Amino acid sequence: METICIAPSSLSLLYQKSSKNDSVLPSKRTKQKHFRVSSTFADRIINASPVKPLPTTPAIPMINVSPEKPLPTTPAKPMIEPVHSSPIALPSESLRYESGFLGAVPNRVVQRDRRDGADGNIDYLTKILNSRCYEIIDESPLQYAPNLSERFGNHLWFKREDLHPVFSFKLRGAYNMMSQLPIEQLKKGLICSSGGNHVQGVALAAKKLGCEVLVVIPTTALEIKKTVESMGAKTVLVGETFDEAQTYAKQRAKDEGRTFVPAFDHPDIIAGQGTVGMEILRQIKSPLHAIFVPVGGGGLIAGIASYVKSVKPEVKVIGVEPFDANGMALSLHHGQRIVLDKVGGFADSVAIRAIGKEPFRICRELVDGVVLVSRDAICASIKDMFEEKRSILEPSGALALAGAEAYCKYYGLKNENIVAITSGANMNFDRLWVVTQLATVGRQQEAILATYLPEKKGSLKQFCKLVGPHNITKFRYRYNARKQEAVVLYSVELHKISEVEEMLHRMKSSSFETTHLTDNVLVKDHLQHLMGGQSSVENEIICHFSFPERQGVLMEFLDAFCPRWNISLFHYRGQGEAGANVLVGLQVGSSSEMDDFKKSADSLGYHYVIETNNEILKLLLHKSSSLP
């Protein structure tokens, strides 16, 4: 294979055609280097005004380097390393930039392969044009969103991949691959693994082709088990994670001679997903600025980019990931595949620890970067979609919409056509209450604050006056007799972001210590529900656990710690098949006991964080509380 590095000026000619919109498009130049940014500089960027003109030259990557886990030094020159080398492990927290910023813009490395065309992409263009997925699906509609378009100040279109028979785009790639297998392989049987949309696509494709398929599902995805069995597939429950299920499925494929159908890392899967891009360019009649694509393993965005950049290279293909599942952004930033040490499970369909090898090869050559969004923003976009089309998307299905809004707001984009792919609607009903609670926060229509009130006559009335005209949506008040003061945890409706700063200033001027908690996950998930009063518990530690969603998990947890350590606090917040967040207090004595506790906690295999010294937790639960 011949590897060629193309100069930045050449890339500008290849990818940035002259148009009337050149002045508002983020540059395609690839001169951008990777930097470790000082905390002062990062803070200045993160706290800048959210509305600013699109840069005409690449911006310095907006990286927030955590002092606990600093980013490894990144070479200044493009890293030209083998695409198929083993990925390195990094935490998602090691790469942060403001929501809406087009980050992780890859250093372009074009790899030519003799079997492909002169531009390394003709093979995929041909595969997409000859995809067989239309034997089982109809073309999904491209729908205009008039209300959101007015709010965004741009023309927003939904590519409705949630309307397929399995409520997801996954059927495209699965059927395209499976339909091209020789009869002999189909007769030997197929096998696949996933806890979500992929296995449904494989099951329905197998039913259409009349072949037998074994579906390996994590024990946390029992609802999917019932769905695929109703399509005629056989199932087996293995492990608690996607990785465990996939390892078992691949080994069983070798042992039994079955064909393993991957979720994203296969050329025919990618080509099937690429038909989404082909349809978008055929359906839209006006000049298109960008297509926003949710990213999990990378198969969908790789397929779309392969087609779009071959036909209309001036159209941006932008990936969207959650902050806590940013495997593509990290991989593009470092120039090699990254495996996340842990991954957030809220948008479970994109909760993939490592992107695929082939998707990464394509994406580092063709995509324009990645936008990162929060859980709150995803919830707000689920609500937006419901209000616009009366459709309920799953979290990953609303990911692209959240990214599109953040991007338009960050760059002040106006009067452009943008497409957001609504990739799935397999929503767990139990998770809707979480979405409802977080949607107003994600839309920045509500703020969460905590204020100390001196216990004297008229202080509560004075507090209410300082809140001003804002409607209080939640109010929790608890008096601390020892400190002769009270703490109030409350939420207020907002019309614009600046109103929070104005309220904080009013409180400070009146000597009412106040802190802004809207972005604090611990408060939203647990502490706002635990305002029963502060207490003094000897030798108490507080831990935040992530429980898998399966039978017996609570007894498993209790067996690990009881009766040796007394449980002083327990607050459980379920999130459907994604598991549950659990806040636990335990009385642990000496340092040697603490070592034993950590060994017991580690042996469970659940992700956990010791939160005892969390300042917000001290504010709401501990007797020695003081505002940070």
Q: Is 170 a catalytic residue?
A: yes
Residue among 28, 159, 170, 618 flagged as catalytic? 170
Picking from 74, 50, 55, the residue whose alpha carbon sits closest to that of residue 63 is 74
b (16+ CB within 10 A) / e for 311-328: eeebbbbbbbbbbbbbbb
How many C-beta neighbours within 10 Å does residue 240 have?
20
Cα separations (Å) of 278 from 129, 164, 306, 326, 360? 8, 17, 10, 26, 20
Give Cβ neighbours of residue 444 (< 8 Å, ≥ 6 apart).
Answer: 494, 497
Cα separations (Å) of 506 from 459, 462, 516? 14, 11, 13
Picking from 299, 350, 302, the residue whose alpha carbon sits closest to that of residue 322 is 350
CA atoms within 13 A on the CB side of 475: 10
Question: Strands 190-193 and 259-260, how do they pair?
Answer: parallel
Q: Three-state SS for 3?
A: strand
Picking from 244, 193, 196, the residue whose alpha carbon sits closest to that of residue 214 is 193
Q: Is 423 a catalytic residue?
A: yes
Q: Three-state SS for 62?
A: coil
Residue among 423, 491, 618, 625 flagged as catalytic? 423
106 — phi, psi (to 5°)?
Answer: -75, 150
Q: Three-state SS for 140?
A: coil
Asked if 75 and 334 count as a contact pair (C-beta separation under 8 A), the reply is no
Question: Strands 417-422 and 370-373, how do they pair?
Answer: unpaired
DSSP 7: P
The span from the CA of 484 to the CA of 488, in Å, is 14
Sign (positive or negative) of CA dihedral 217, 222, 224, 226: positive
What are the residue numbers of the active site? 170, 423
